[in-house]
Amino acid sequence: MSARIMQVAKCPTDELSLTNCAVINEKEQLEQHVVVRNGAQKFVFTLKTHPSMSPQSIGFSLPQRKWAVLSIGQEVEVTSYKFDKSKQCISTMTVEIDFLQKKSMDRNPYDTDKMNSEFVQHFNNQAFSVGQQLVLSFSDKLFSIVVKDMEAMDPSILKGNKAPGNKQKIELGLLLPDSQVIFEKSETSSVTLSGRSKTRESRQSIISPDWNFEEMGIGGLDKEFSAIFRRAFASRVFPPEIVEQMGGKHVKGILLYGPPGCGKTLMARQIGKMLKAREPKIVNGPEILNKYVGESEANVRKLFADAEDEQKRLGANSGLHIIIFDEIDAICKQRGSMAGSTGVHDTVVNQLLSKIDGVEQLNNILVIGMTNRPDLIDEALLRPGRLEVKMEIGLPDENGRVQILHIHTAKMRQHNLLGGDVNIQELAVETKNFSGAELEGLVRAAQSTAMNRHIKASSTVEVNTDTAEKLLVCRTDFLGSLENDIKPAFGTNQEDYASYIMNGIIVWGDLVSAVLDDGKLLVQQTKNSNATPLVSVLLEGPPNSGKTALAAKISEESEFPFIKICSPDKMIGHSEIAKCQAIKKIFEDAYKSQLSCIVVDDIERLLDFVPIGPRFSNLVLQALLVLLKKPPPKGRKLLIIGTTSRKDVLQEMEMLDAFSTTIHVPNIANGEQLITALEKLGSFSDRERASIAKGVKGENLSIGIKKLLMLIEMAVQMEPEHRVAKFLSLLKEVGRMNPNRF
């Protein structure tokens, strides 16, 4: 059909203006689709008829006139148009959506699946062009639509072939019932969309494609990292429409806690690198605080400003914003806990809570908090919806230590600077309870030792260039550093218990062997039994009978990675509260290790007990009663060995019931046991021992091994011929001073 000149007019009714069709008089003889030429530009429209339209006129809605740059009364050339259905059928059309009028804006979510269905039904068999503007009526709201992109349907599908072919971009197409319309928000739009059709394609994984777990530099935290990934990132990797259909929400907060140096900060930084998110904002807790009123809260708001702005603009398409709080306990202490404070901490906590999970909550953030004092943090911050994933980053196990040592020695191995005799597995066994930072320190110390060998000891400090090229970090460097330089904060200080058994254990009879055997059984029970993660034993007996030495020996032979002696000599001058805190800290440190042993020495001295009065510290007593009965956290095991010389006092204080079992440590009670002890000590000759045996024959003795050692040392200072006489007189002197015990 030849071109016709027609005059542009308004659309006759509001209903017709929502059809996206140009309107002509019913008597006009035109095809369903026409090309309207406006100067050099061409626009394709679908036609509808209406009796109110005057002949030779063609009516357009306001959005159509804006798109085609038409004015009322203008003359345009109209020509019929036929679609090539093998090439111009729309498979997928992406459109941008916004409210037509700002006054009708709301926050209600609009289901794009239903919107797609209505759109295809309403505009079926109509012509669409890229850049076209139209109005959509949905749920009694009017929306402005702009066509952004179109892909042609594969002709093979029209022939019944289900195999997908290559998708072809088109500028002009025909909408069919099988077409898919995908709705996206414009940058300035505040429409809230839900459903499958709201993004161009299922969102790509937020995990960076070139991310490599091996290169993260995090060792020994595979299990923890997997748990964090499952809880915090699985929902973000899944297509968002499926998460919405499940009614799920993203995790918005993670709390990493644990001993210092175990990789909390490192893990938080690497999480930021792993995700295809912008560089995380890292904030040290104390930096937030400001002495001026309102400034601290403003600092919190600034951290979330970018995320808020992006969520308003892009909604569900917003990228992930990561905010990392190091030492979060500095700003999020329990509200109301700081008596006499200005209340700044409380308002900062309130501000943080409202940003993470308040009325206008953000869905494009991930807050990672780190602390080694989770007990100080306000409990409202730890509930689900806030920092809901709580992950302990604990001391690495043996496999973890192997990984960490491999990471820190990788460059040396790469450049052939690591000695062939260095066995990483052996070092991992030797470094029980080392944190990641301490293992890194061990490698540094070994490197320093190796480098020191190549420094000339002359008037000036300079490198011996002749030997420096042969620099190798050897096994001896690591073992030397392990012995002298690096000690684990949550490990075993051998100097602590070495002083208690410097004279060894004198097995003067079967009774001593029985105590040691029982101790070994309790150690095995602690290691192997899952039913009793807490085992406690009280060694009781008269003063100087060697209880502390036996307790130290049992703990040493246990080879537990954490051994601590809670002794009164470390708490001289402490107030009751300070003493309770010191005892509590020892137990809390023990809970961080897989296997721990605590020796609570001289319990009556810890309790400040004196028989005059009698007087004792009830505060310390109650603290000990609680801690002795408190089981360690899941997966941890604890052996407690207590010692006392006043079993009767502990009985009255109801403390005996706090121990699983009680073992009696006796004194030397007769001459035979005394001679056995003297033989083991080797301080007297055979003839002298025979004389001593004759001197004590028939006597009932009661002397502690510790006291006996003191008497022997006094006696051997005499001339050889007087030593036996002196020793026997000292024994009788002890008997006169302690008639009940000799």
Active site residue 82: no
How many C-beta atoms surround the C-beta of residue 538 within 10 A?
Answer: 25
Nearest to 405 by CA among 432, 421, 428: 428
Peptide bond into 614 cis (omega under 30): yes
CB burial of residue 532 (10 Å; 0-12, 13-18, 19+): middle
Taken in order 432, 434, 435, 439, is the CA torsion positive or negative?
Answer: negative
Of the residues 48, 264, 547, 637, only one is catalytic, namely 547
Q: What is the DSSP string of 421-466?
A: T--HHHHHHH-TT--HHHHHHHHHHHHHHHHHTTEEESSSEEE-HH
Active site residue 601: yes
Of the residues 112, 548, 643, 644, only one is catalytic, namely 548
Nearest to 94 by CA among 157, 22, 186: 186
Of the residues 141, 584, 706, 726, only one is catalytic, namely 706
Of the residues 87, 629, 630, 732, only one is catalytic, namely 629
Active site residue 629: yes
44: Cβ contacts below 8 Å, ≥ 6 apart? 33, 34, 35, 36, 81, 127, 129, 172
Residues shown for the chain: 742
Taken in order 97, 103, 107, 110, is the CA torsion positive or negative?
Answer: negative
In this structure, what token pair is assigned to residue 45?
A: 């429209």
Residues 133/96, Cβ–Cβ less than 8 Å: no
In this structure, what token pair is assigned to residue 179?
A: 């077409």
Q: What is the DSSP string of 58-83?
A: EEE-HHHHHHHT--TT-EEEEEE---
Task: Classify 73 in phi/psi space as left (phi over 0), alpha (psi -120 to 50) or beta.
Answer: left
Of the residues 601, 637, 644, 707, only one is catalytic, namely 601
Active site residue 547: yes
- What span, in angstroms and rounded, lies between the C-alpha atoms of 165 and 144? 32
Nearest to 656 by CA among 665, 666, 646: 646
- What span, in angstroms and rounded, lies between the C-alpha atoms of 62 and 11? 8
Of the residues 98, 378, 477, 602, only one is catalytic, namely 602
In this structure, what token pair is assigned to residue 464?
A: 């011996």
Q: What is the DSSP string of 254-287?
A: EEEE-STTSSHHHHHHHHHHHBTSPPPEEEEHHH
Residues 707/677, Cβ–Cβ less than 8 Å: no
**Any idea what DSSP says for residue 545?**
S
- What span, in angstroms and rounded, lies between the C-alpha atoms of 207 and 190? 28
Active site residue 98: no
Looking up tokens 């502390």, which residue turns up? 548
Q: What is the DSSP string of 305-347?
A: HHHHHHHHHHGGGPPPEEEEEETGGGT-BPTT-STTS-SHHHH
In this structure, what token pair is assigned to residue 506?
A: 């004198």
- Catalytic residue numbers? 547-548, 601-602, 629, 706
